[in-house]
Structure 1
């Protein structure tokens, strides 16, 4: 590891922060990771992953574990509400010829896999702790922590998510996350034999399923909600079942019948954020959702955050000049992340407006191919 960033603090123990810790420890850096949640919990149902994410898992060294605990499949099938086949979207095999081009896994399971790898890396992990104050000079960063400690670092990485306190401290005037006009429902259900790959039905709302293990799948459904309002969890089962009522496809109706109180239903309004450049100031840099939170239309939010971690580690290893490394990181990441955020938002807009299916398909194809390019 170059001497300008041999001691590094990562703020946030989500997917991006853990990935950064794993990669930087491989390069010999001393890494502290602080996570404000003392239980280091990950909420949610399933998560869909593209080939670029599986390629990143290979670089992190967790691909084999993912393959044993999650699900890897090829392609995405689209149907009309009555079950008539509409299209098949291929997913390139980016992680290797022997690894399918897409997949899914329970979000808490992926978080555990990454947490185990982070612990095994030798990073110093402190839970229930975050920063209280950051003060930097040309040579380093002094950080006061909420547990009363003070430490000095060569570099600080803010990976603390959509409502990042690091971003707020670094760039208090940047735009805030904005509601997209859509919300997503997710639920976990038994996986029937006919669900061998990701499947979606194109209607007034857009439901889909994706295998997440050998015997489980998760249901996802996006709907137009003009107002970002609270939804009572007591109504989740009835509301989700009602959203599927217009889909006459036998598989969808079978799924609808299975939804119940034990289906681990999660409801989330969809927000997005693209922070204008710069993404760093001095020796503090932001990665992941802290700078580019996307809606899930391209199943690439986790992907681009994990890629951030890999690219940042690569650039820090290339030069002893921290400012040069951070600029190179930003230059490599900006266009790719902008594309995912803005194209995902456009897909949602087309869905809400019942717009051009041709444009929708073209954006999905072009974005998929762009994500296949090396990072």
Structure 2
């Protein structure tokens, strides 16, 4: 157990929060983990997982669960709009990496895995709860919860996402999330044998792809540049079908099969991000994951950055030389790496909207994944 940090509050029990609960419990910190959602769980379709994220999951101790319950593989298949193969992109990892270099998982599956481990490590989890006030002094943080109760902690972690309540409390002038100009469609599907790995269909009006999430299933994604609009969920199948009209191969089969019954399986959301200047902490309150560095999905690294945040924070806290020193070292190790992900993802978004050549887009992916394959 560290002497500097003996008790921590984590606000937000998603990927970042649960990962931090696991890593902090393993260094002996008492953890209270809260989430505003009384029905704890995850919605949405799937997540693409890169090699560096698989490595982070291995360090977290959950890679075996990933192999058993999700998908792991190698490389990315790039096709044209008719499904004809153009090239395979390597997804490089060091030769001694203990993991595969690519993967995919359903969001609810990842939530179940992390929740199982967070519970096993002994985190105290409270649901339907958030924070209303934070009052700091030299030795800790007084917290007022939304149910009127109070607590005192050595540190507080804001892991409550893009619209973080904690960020608003400690950084009232922080930038607000803004629409990027792109929206993302996702659809959960059975996985045919021909989809052996992540597959992109480039060169058309949209970036479309398949991402395996298990031995039997995958999800399709479609990124489009458009003014921010509301689409009635009852019309999801019609609107998605319109966007697939010019595509062939397996995408044509998806187009032909869409019907009203698929609306519940279709997820549509605008992509919203902000860029938060460093440092991502004030005193003893630190932001991690999407609360500090949200990203668009182009580089498939948002979850990985959140898990890495948790790993790095525990490594710095266990040195036991003070919260300020640990948080400062955390920023030294995390800021540039997270900026690489957010900046590369936004660059890809701009190239997609401009319908830039396939080679120009794939170069951005290859360059970023090569850097991310380096040690954290």
Q: Name the TM-score, length of structure 2 as normaliser.
A: 0.96
SS of alignment partner, residue 182 of structure 1? strand
Quote the residue 2:325 is aligned against. 324
Quote the residue 1:206 is aligned against. 207
Q: How much does 1:255 deviate?
A: 2.4
Q: How much does 1:104 deviate?
A: 0.6
SS of alignment partner, residue 195 of structure 1? coil
| 1:114-141 residue CA offsets vs partner (Å, 9 max, x unmatched) | 1111111101100111111110001100
Q: Are the structure 2 counterparts of residues 186 and 178 from structure 1 closer, same or farther at C-alpha, using a change threshold of 3 Å?
A: same
Quote the residue 1:22 is aligned against. 22
Quote the residue 1:68 is aligned against. 68
**Partners in 2 of 1:332 and 1:184 — Cα distance?**
30
**Partners in 2 of 1:229 and 1:168 — Cα distance?**
26
SS of alignment partner, residue 9 of structure 1? strand
Quote the residue 1:370 is aligned against. 371
**Partners in 2 of 1:289 and 1:315 — Cα distance?**
20
SS of alignment partner, residue 217 of structure 1? strand
SS of alignment partner, residue 82 of structure 1? coil
**Partners in 2 of 1:114 and 1:52 — Cα distance?**
18
**Partners in 2 of 1:53 and 1:96 — Cα distance?**
15
Quote the residue 1:132 is aligned against. 132
Cα RMSD (Å) of the superposition? Answer: 1.4
**Partners in 2 of 1:283 and 1:32 — Cα distance?**
16
Is the contact made by 2:141 and 2:153 (CA closer than 8 Å) also made in structure 1?
Answer: yes
Count of residue pairs the alignment pairs up: 373
SS of alignment partner, residue 361 of structure 1? helix
Q: How much does 1:97 deviate?
A: 5.2
Q: How much does 1:150 deviate?
A: 1.0
Quote the residue 2:236 is aligned against. 236
**Partners in 1 of 2:154 and 2:98 — Cα distance?**
40
Is the contact made by 1:13 and 1:160 (CA closer than 8 Å) also made in structure 2?
Answer: yes
SS of alignment partner, residue 265 of structure 2? coil
SS of alignment partner, residue 274 of structure 2? strand
Quote the residue 1:223 is aligned against. 224
Is the contact made by 1:55 and 1:94 (CA closer than 8 Å) also made in structure 2?
Answer: no
Q: Are the structure 2 counterparts of residues 49 and 299 from structure 1 closer, same or farther at C-alpha, using a change threshold of 3 Å?
A: same
Is the contact made by 1:95 and 1:101 (CA closer than 8 Å) also made in structure 2?
Answer: no
**Partners in 2 of 1:359 and 1:316 — Cα distance?**
41
**Partners in 1 of 2:305 and 2:196 — Cα distance?**
26
Quote the residue 1:253 is aligned against. 252
User: Does residue 311 of structure 2 align to residue 342 of structure 1?
Assistant: no
Quote the residue 1:11 is aligned against. 11
Quote the residue 1:181 is aligned against. 181
**Partners in 2 of 1:97 and 1:329 — Cα distance?**
24
- Structure 2, unaligned runs of 5 or more: none
Q: How much does 1:10 deviate?
A: 0.3
- Structure 1, unaligned runs of 5 or more: none
**Partners in 2 of 1:158 and 1:306 — Cα distance?**
14
Q: Name the TM-score, length of structure 1 as normaliser.
A: 0.97
**Partners in 1 of 2:255 and 2:129 — Cα distance?**
42
User: Does residue 274 of structure 2 align to residue 270 of structure 1?
Assistant: no
